[in-house]
Amino acid sequence: MTGDNDMTAKLDGRSALVSGSGRGIGREIALKLASEGARIVVNDLDADPAQETAELIRNMGGEAVVCAGSVTEDGFADRFIGAAVQNFGGVDIIVNNAGYTWDTVIQKMSDEQWHAIIDVHLTAPFQILRAAQPVISAAAKAEAAEGREVFRKVVNISSIAGTGGNAGQINYAAAKAGIIGLTKTMAKEWGRYKVNVNAVAFGPIRTRLTEAPATGDSTIKVEGKEIRVGLNADLLSQMETSIPLGRVGTPEEAAGAVYLFCVPESDFISGQHVICGGGFVI
């Protein structure tokens, strides 16, 4: 999967769970990790895009299984972690990527709107990591008894809305700020297990959640609700002029930032967050 020299595969044999990996950035993260030898548990709210990602990985010569469903549904976290244990024998990498936006100003935001975004971006990662703890703890103790030091990786996805705030996104910004606090805390709790816990805060990345439609509104369906997404074309253009690198990022570039925290070269980096935004900050 890594060209003519498979010896270069940095993640050979590692199991990686990537939530929200049926489309966009999540798919690119899954493909990037798979290209370096990781075996992937693919998740998406909808089974079809998840299966598409899994097929792409298999066509590359990799291994992938699908765990479809909402990360917020009861029992999902145990099912997600269980898929890695049952199919790949353990948990090595967790990327908490799933999510969407549901924006409005505070006076128009309902409790449902607030809780939906907090649940998907903050509560679900907490539940996934909680479900992973017994598996990671047992593996780390066994490795320590054998005198081996094996590093595992958690990468949580944040946003510049979380690091700097963003008008009209109080729910999303609060959740993404919370992810940074969760990351720093888990780095301290799980250091004894040799787990590196870091976060990537995305700036403007061109996906279906940001791309403005040519006409009308762009919406996504989430658990029966039609959610309006996409940035105004003029706003996106203005934003690009504020990005030092001169353009918004691609999903492949976003995946590259996550990958940096998954490889052995990052074994002594933990409790950190990096902004992947072309130099753009708010």
User: Rounded to whole angstroms, what are the CA distances from 91 to 19, 100, 135, 154, 258?
Assistant: 14, 25, 7, 10, 17
Segment holding 95, helix H or strand E? strand 93-96
DSSP 169: B
Q: Do 27 and 250 form a contact (C-beta atoms < 8 A)? A: no
Query: Within its chain, how far is the Cα of 127 from the centroid?
Result: 14
Query: Within its chain, how far is the Cα of 197 from the centroid?
Result: 13
Give residues with Cβ within 8 angstroms of 112, minimum separation 6: none
- List, in sequence order, every beta strand (DSSP E) within 206-264: 218-222, 225-229
Which pair of structure tokens corresponds to residue 132?
């992973």
Given 100, 172, 193, 259, the catalytic residue: 172
273 three-state secondary structure: strand
DSSP 264: G
Active site residue 259: no
Alpha-carbon gap, residue 249 to 174, rounded angstroms: 23
Short-list 153, 257, 247, 250, CA closest to 200: 257
Residues catalogued as catalytic: 172
